[in-house]
């Protein structure tokens, strides 16, 4: 076959070109141009001014950022909330996966699984409405009701009005919403454990608990390690929706995280450059963390993310 | 793996009993909040405010639903929610599948470039402010299309669909080409129908995402009530009942408008009703499509 020039090949494959190039242009506009927008962080950006007329200010916005006290508060909140979510999420998901695996009744197991996955698909708006309802001080607030009945508290607690409860509520909300969903990967890992190991252990007289501790858990270790590493790479991603929806003026000192910080400064106050600097800071740190995590995963002989 | 016929020791029995009890508790904790919301939404509003509504309504009424859906703003937002879900899902799934098809054709000269350009975007993004400014620049603010256009191709969807297309025996696609079908014809008449299982899964995820999103409404269209969605209306109600916010748009349409008919509905009953309406489509299809919901996870590979 004669080697054709690129142009004639493109003409020959014009249908494929027509099918992909318009979407490639879309990709360029909607995914690549915003990255160019990072330059806003190094400008004193004024909307309505032409791109090349913007004033360049170097790292000034980053200097302001690191001098801003509220930035350290949102960093603390971000790290605290994602750590709590990470630890709680891991422990509960692994526990539930193991317990599900121990259910003898397969039909019952499937029902529990189906129900526990459901909240994952509900929007955070709906979930927040449900949580606000459950925590309310009114008659429908089941949490206060139960605590009062049990005599643990004497007065209903205004859960969402005090900052000190916020991280705990957020962690619990995340667990309520995603517990079932998070078990899927562990359940898949458990099925790869060789059943012969369980049989051998049983013959040797190992109890249920011993089999969980010495066969199931070690079998899950590789998955746990890789997920832990990858999640550490995402430590600055503490979520946005639940904090925004459940937080309020009274809890802002504890509920505002980096994403909300960017939103407040950028969209609400119109301080685009400063907010972009915070966003760029987050993206760069996340990128470094993700690459390090990936590198560590490779070192440990785990499958890499990319 | 384990047979139920084997001898169960007393310890085993206690373990099983506790395990089943825990699972029942989990089911209760997951389902009770929905059931409670449902009961409140179907109960007389004034009666609800006296308390004691748990799993079933005391004074049954459809009034909360009638009232909520009669509200023009809510009715219209429901329409927009449905529209964005239907249009958004069709457009996104079609465009994603089209990209997936082109990069699955080994002879395509731009194949590597197209694939690389798409995959690269998985590792970075411009972030909130540059994206916001871009959409503003493109006049997507105050427009329905901001719900559709910024997301017409999902890279993850492309990857999932491509690996499915690559599983289709080459002979099928080749023979279609032999018969004189062009690439677009092959894609439309052969590849899309063969991809139905994976398209169902992807559609489901896109549809759920569209139905559930409120942030784009808040960011781009919060000043235009005609473009509001159900989730956003619920969000506004939630915000107004969840303390006073200085930074947020508190446009609680309903609570304001309900002021003069307080004897029939209350903010709490309206919120419960809205919560049920906003989650009902998902709760209704979920049991039947559960298989596809879960498949999305395993198809997508390891969740990060």
The model's pLDDT over B224-261, given as tens digits with 9 standing for 90+, comes to 999 999 999 999 998 887 654 333 333 344 444 444 44
Give the closest-approach CA distance of B167 to chain A in angstroms.
Answer: 20
Cβ-Cβ contacts under 8 Å between A and B: the total is: 283
Contacts of B276 (CB under 8 A, 6+ apart): B34, B37, B38, B41
Q: Tell me the CA end-to-end span of chain B in Å, nearest whole number.
A: 29
How many Cβ atoms are within 10 Å of A300's Cβ, its own excluded? Answer: 11
In A, minimum Cα distance to B50 occurs at A139
Q: Which of A104, A119, A272 sits opposite B30 (nearest CB)?
A: A119
Q: Mark yes or no for CB contact A130/B19 under 8 Å.
A: no
Q: Mark yes or no for CB contact A125/B214 under 8 Å.
A: yes
Backbone angles phi, psi at B16, to 5 degrees: -60, -45
* Whether the Cβ atoms of residue A142 and residue B39 lie closer than 8 Å to each other: no
Residue with tokens 């609800």: B48
Distance CA A197, CA B80 (A): 55
The model's pLDDT over B132-183, given as tens digits with 9 standing for 90+, comes to 999 999 999 999 999 999 999 999 999 999 999 999 998 898 888 888 889 9
CB contacts of B271 in chain A (<8 Å) are: 129, 133
Q: Which of B29, B105, B246 sits opposite A16 (nearest CB)?
A: B105
pLDDT at residue A49 tops 90: no
* Angle between the N-to-C axes of helices B72-102 and B63-70, in degrees from 0 to 180, rounded to the nearest 10: 70
Q: What is the mean pLDDT of chain B?
A: 86
CB contacts of B237 in chain A (<8 Å) are: 129
Q: Mark yes or no for CB contact B53/A139 under 8 Å.
A: yes
Q: What is the pLDDT of residue B266?
A: 86
Task: Report DSSP letters for A163-199, one per residue.
Answer: HHHHHHHHHHHHHHHHHHHHHHHHHHHHTTS-HHHHH
Residue A164 lies in a domain: no
- Give chain A's domain count: 1
Residue A114 lies in a domain: yes
Distance CA A130, CA A154 (A): 24
A131, A132, A137, A141: CA torsion to nearest 10: -40
* Residue predicted with more confidence, A58 or B303: A58
What H or E segment, with its residue span, contains residue A43?
Answer: strand A43-44
CB contacts of B52 in chain A (<8 Å) are: 139
In A, minimum Cα distance to B14 occurs at A208
pLDDT at residue B121 tops 80: yes
pLDDT at residue B1 tops 70: no
Give the closest-approach CA distance of B239 to chain A in angstroms.
Answer: 7
Q: Which of A125, A135, A276 to substitute to test the interface with B, most B CBs within 10 Å?
A: A125
Average pLDDT of A95-121?
A: 94
CB contacts of B49 in chain A (<8 Å) are: 138-139
Average pLDDT of A21-36?
A: 96
Q: Mark yes or no for CB contact A103/B4 under 8 Å.
A: no
A142, A146, A149, A155: CA torsion to nearest 10: -70
Q: Which of A123, A246, A275 sits opposite B278 (nearest CB)?
A: A123
Q: Determine if residue A218 is left, alpha or beta; phi over 0 gives left, psi from -120 to 50 gives alpha, anything else beta.
A: alpha
Task: Name the nearest CA neighbour of B81 among B217, B223, B276, B202.
Answer: B217
Q: Mark yes or no for CB contact A268/B109 under 8 Å.
A: no
Q: What is the pLDDT of residue A31?
A: 95
> What CATH code is carried by the domain that includes residue A191?
1.10.3720.10
Q: What is the pLDDT of residue B300?
A: 52
Q: Mark yes or no for CB contact A33/B134 under 8 Å.
A: yes
Return the percentage of chain B with pLDDT > 70, whole number: 87
Q: What is the pLDDT of residue B180?
A: 84
Residue A191 lies in a domain: yes
DSSP code at position A151:
T
pLDDT at residue A3 tops 70: no
Q: Mark yes or no for CB contact A276/B1 under 8 Å.
A: no
Q: Mark yes or no for CB contact B271/A226 under 8 Å.
A: no
Q: Which of B127, B247, B275 sits opposite A264 (nearest CB)?
A: B247
Distance CA B261, CA A255 (A): 35
Task: Name the nearest CA neighbour of A229 among A170, A303, A120.
Answer: A303
pLDDT at residue A265 tops 80: yes
Average pLDDT of B205-217?
A: 95
Distance CA A33, CA B126 (A): 8
What are the residues facing B60 on neighbouring strands?
B43
Distance CA B76, CA A133 (A): 26
Residue A28 lies in a domain: no
Q: Which of A3, A20, A37 to substitute to test the interface with B, most B CBs within 10 Å?
A: A20
For chain B, what are the domain ranges?
66-299
Sign of CA dihedral A32, A36, A37, A38: positive
Q: Mark yes or no for CB contact B34/A130 under 8 Å.
A: yes
Q: Which of B23, B53, B231 sits opposite A140 (nearest CB)?
A: B53
pLDDT at residue A297 tops 80: no
* Whether the Cβ atoms of residue A103 and residue B26 lie closer than 8 Å to each other: no
pLDDT at residue B102 tops 80: yes
Backbone angles phi, psi at B60, to 5 degrees: -70, 135
In A, minimum Cα distance to B218 occurs at A267
What H or E segment, with its residue span, contains residue A272?
Answer: helix A272-299
Distance CA A182, CA A186 (A): 8
Distance CA A133, CA A126 (A): 11
Radius of gyration of chain B (CA): 25
Return the percentage of chain B with pLDDT > 90, whole number: 65
Where does chain B have alpha helices with state H? Answer: 10-41, 45-48, 63-70, 72-102, 111-120, 128-137, 155-166, 170-178, 183-186, 192-194, 196-212, 215-220, 230-241, 253-258, 267-299
Q: Which of B20, B22, B153 sits opposite A26 (nearest CB)?
A: B153
Q: What is the pLDDT of residue A296?
A: 83
pLDDT at residue A306 tops 50: no
The model's pLDDT over B62-82, given as tens digits with 9 standing for 90+, comes to 999 999 998 889 999 999 999
Residue A291 lies in a domain: yes
Q: Which class is B66-299 in CATH?
A: mainly alpha
Distance CA B190, CA B262 (A): 59
Q: Mark yes or no for CB contact A129/B293 under 8 Å.
A: no
Distance CA A48, CA A105 (A): 65
Residue A92 lies in a domain: yes
Q: Which of B9, B245, B282 sits opposite A121 (nearest CB)?
A: B282
Residue A168 lies in a domain: no
In A, minimum Cα distance to B154 occurs at A27
Q: What is the pLDDT of residue A2?
A: 56
CB contacts of B130 in chain A (<8 Å) are: 33-38, 40, 276, 279
Give the closest-approach CA distance of B83 to chain A in angstroms.
Answer: 18
**Which domain, by its residues, includes A68?**
62-122+179-299
Half-sphere CA count of B62, side-chain side, radius 13 A: 3
Confidence of residue A295 (pLDDT cuts 50, 70, 90): confident
- Predicted TM-score (pTM) of the model is 0.89
In B129-153, which positions are buried (b, 16+ CB within 10 angstroms) versus exposed (e)? bbbbbbbeebebeebbebbbbbbbb
């Amino acid at each position: 076959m004669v080697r054709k020039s690129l142009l004639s090949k493109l003409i020959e494959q014009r249908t494929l070109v027509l099918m992909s190039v318009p979407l490639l242009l879309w990709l360029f506009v909607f995914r690549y141009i915003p990255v160019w927008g990072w330059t806003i962080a190094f400008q004193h950006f004024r909307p309505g001014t032409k791109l090349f007329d913007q004033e360049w200010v170097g790292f000034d916005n980053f200097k302001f950022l690191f001098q801003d006290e509220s930035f350290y508060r949102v960093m603390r909140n971000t790290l605290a909330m994602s750590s709590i979510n990470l630890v709680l999420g891991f422990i509960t998901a692994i526990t539930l996966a193991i317990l599900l695996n121990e259910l003898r009744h397969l039909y019952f197991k499937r029902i529990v699984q189906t129900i526990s996955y459901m909240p994952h698909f509900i929007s955070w708006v709906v979930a927040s409405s449900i949580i606000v309802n459950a925590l309310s001080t009114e008659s429908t607030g089941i949490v206060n009701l139960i605590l009062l009945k049990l005599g643990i508290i004497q007065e209903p607690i205004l859960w969402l009005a005090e900052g000190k409860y916020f991280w705990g509520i957020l962690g619990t909300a995340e667990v309520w919403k995603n517990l079932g969903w998070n078990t899927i990967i562990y359940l898949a890992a458990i099925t790869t454990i060789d059943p012969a190991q369980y049989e051998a252990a049983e013959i040797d007289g190992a109890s249920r608990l011993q089999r969980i501790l010495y066969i199931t858990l070690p079998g899950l270790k590789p998955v746990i390690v890789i997920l832990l590493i990858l999640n550490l790479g995402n430590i600055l991603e503490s979520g946005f929706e639940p904090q925004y929806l459940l937080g309020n003026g009274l809890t802002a000192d504890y509920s505002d995280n980096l994403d909300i910080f960017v939103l407040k400064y950028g969209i609400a106050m119109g301080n685009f450059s400063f907010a972009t600097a915070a966003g760029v800071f987050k993206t760069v740190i996340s990128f470094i963390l993700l690459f390090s995590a990936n590198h560590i995963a490779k070192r440990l002989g785990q499958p890499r993310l990319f | 793996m384990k047979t139920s016929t084997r001898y169960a020791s007393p310890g085993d029995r206690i373990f099983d009993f506790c395990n089943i009890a825990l699972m029942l508790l989990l089911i209760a904790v997951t389902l009770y909040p929905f059931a409670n919301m449902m009961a409140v939404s179907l109960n007389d509003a004034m009666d609800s405010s006296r308390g004691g509504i748990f799993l079933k309504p005391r004074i049954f009424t459809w009034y909360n639903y009638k009232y909520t859906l009669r509200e023009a703003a809510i009715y219209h937002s429901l329409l927009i929610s449905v529209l964005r879900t239907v249009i958004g899902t069709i457009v996104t799934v079609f465009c994603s599948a089209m990209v997936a098809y082109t990069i699955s054709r080994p002879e395509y000269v731009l194949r590597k470039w197209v694939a690389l350009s798409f995959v690269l975007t998985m590792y970075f993004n411009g972030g909130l402010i540059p994206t916001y400014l871009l959409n503003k620049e493109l006049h997507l603010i105050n427009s329905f299309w901001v719900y559709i256009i910024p997301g017409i191709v999902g890279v993850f969807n492309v990857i999932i669909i491509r690996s499915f297309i690559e599983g289709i025996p080459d002979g099928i696609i080749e023979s279609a080409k032999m018969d004189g079908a062009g690439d677009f014809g092959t894609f439309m008449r052969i590849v899309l129908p063969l991809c139905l299982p994976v398209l169902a899964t992807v559609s489901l995820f896109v549809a759920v995402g569209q139905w559930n999103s409120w942030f784009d409404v808040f960011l781009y269209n919060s000043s235009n009530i005609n473009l509001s969605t159900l989730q956003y209306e619920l969000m506004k109600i939630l915000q107004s009942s969840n303390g006073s916010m200085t930074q947020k748009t508190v446009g609680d349409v309903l609570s304001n408008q309900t002021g003069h008919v307080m004897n029939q509905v209350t903010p709490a009953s309206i919120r419960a009703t809205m919560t049920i309406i906003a989650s009902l489509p998902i709760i209704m299809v979920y049991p039947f499509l559960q298989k596809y919901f879960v498949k999305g996870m395993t198809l997508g590979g390891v969740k990060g």
